[in-house]
Amino acid sequence: TTPNLLDIEGLEVRFHGERTVHAINGLDLTLKPGEVMTILGESGSGKSVTLKALLKLLPEKRTAMSGAMRVDGIDVMALTGRALSDYRGKTVSMIFQEPALALDPVYTIGDQIAEAVIRHERVSKREAMDRALDMLKRVRIPSPESRLKNYPHEMSGGMRQRAMIALALACKPDLLLADEPTTALDATVQIQVLLLLRELQKEFGMGIIFVTHDIGVAVEISDRIAVMYAGNIVEEGSVAEIIKDPRHPYTKGLLEANLHDADPSETLTSIPGSPPPLDVKPDHCSFAPRCAYAEARCFKALPPVLKPGPGRRVACILEEGRAPVMTPAREPE
Ligand code: SF4
Ligand code: MG
């Protein structure tokens, strides 16, 4: 068996402020090299926090993290200083919904990509510029030679998105994190960018974790889907398994809502009720208040995690007796 590209075990993330927010509650996630995984969930479910934790981008003073994260065998929790800046961009890099978070308005696209290459590799400015040009070609930006000299504001939204992808991939990371990168684009451009990411994934062989609230996007881009709710994964499987045979009531609700709802941004909110407040650590099934199948015990203990098949898991009592147990139901601590 090939070693995993990514191993997250028991990740917990809490934010301290006036109130404590339990953003991630014991998350386990693995990714094989070259796999594309979508984390699907509504806003506030912890998708973006998971990505930021992987790059150690969370505000250090307010954040408490525990558990283990390894990428390519690197212990992410232990990274600091030079090792951390080597890791960012070279081992793992990230693209965002808003390219302004990644692109600097005062430098040309060419300079920014070349600068990133020089930071990670011993190459001359000339070689780094050649790489920048090559990257703009690979992301299929028209007239790449002249685009090298463009500032971000001189490009359209779709072009900026491509330039951001070129920057993120310039140092050939093993893992690309994508936080709703196509959400702000119109439908046609969105599909073009998703297809481009798929092609680049094959070309570079990198793993991708894509986070979105849009099931259509998840189906388009990924091999596997992990459904996230209240800071943990409630179900995981291949795209076909999740779409054709959803097992968790939350996943079923999402798909049901998606069928009846034309506006994808509405889909995740059309399940009656709302996600739980995250100011206490969950000690029972977080979905219980919204779940049509809830029993008394769902309000008393965390549900068991069951494994209906390879690479498949469901955190729900309804799966009991149908599948082997990965983690038994846990009484509150
Ligand atoms: Fe519903 Fe209980 Fe399953 Fe939670 S564990 S999803 S409340 S049936
Ligand atoms: Mg988000």
Mean pLDDT of 140-159: 94
3-state SS of 82-129?
Answer: HHHHHHHHHCEEEECCCHHHCCCCCCCHHHHHHHHHHHHCCCCHHHHH
Q: ipTM of the predicted structure? A: 0.95
12-22 confidence digits (pLDDT tens): 999 999 899 99
Separation of first and last alpha carbons in the chain: 36
Averaged pLDDT score across all residues of the chain? 91
Write out pLDDT tens, residues 281-320: 899 999 999 999 999 999 999 999 999 999 999 999 999 9
**Which pLDDT band, with edges at 50, 70 and 90, does 43 fall under?**
confident
- The pLDDT of 324-331, averaged and rounded, is 82
Q: Which domains does the chain have, with CATH numbers?
A: 6-91+173-327 (3.40.50.300), 99-172 (no CATH)
Atom of ligand 1 nearest to the CA of 288: 7
Q: Is the CB of 227 under 6 A from ligand 1?
A: no
Instruction: For residues 242-252, give the mean pLDDT.
Output: 95
In the chain, pLDDT over 70 holds for what percent of residues? 95
Q: Whose CA is nearest to atom 5 of ligand 1?
A: 316
- Residue 302: CB within 6 Å of ligand 1? no
According to DSSP, the β-strands at 305-309 and 232-238 are: unpaired
Mark the residues whose beta carbon lies below 5 A from ion ligand 2: 48
CA distance 146 to 26: 48
pLDDT band at 2 (very low <50, low <70, confident <90, very high): confident
Q: Which of 248, 250, 295, 316 to mutate to test the pocket of ligand 1 (most atoms within 8 A of CB)?
A: 316
pTM: 0.93
Pocket perturbation via mutation, ligand 1, pick of 298, 299, 300, 322 by most ligand atoms within 8 A of CB: 298
- Condensed to tens digits (0 to 9), the pLDDT of residues 97-136 reads 888 888 999 999 999 999 999 999 999 999 999 999 999 9
The encoded tokens of residue 23 equal 């953003």
Tell me the average pLDDT across 155-172.
93
Is the Cβ atom of 287 under 6 angstroms away from ligand 1? yes
Return d(Cα 287, Cα 294) in angstroms, integer.
9
- From the alpha carbon of 299, which atom of ligand 1 is closest? 7
Task: Say what the pLDDT of residue 267 is.
Answer: 47
Give the per-residue pLDDT at 261.
Answer: 55
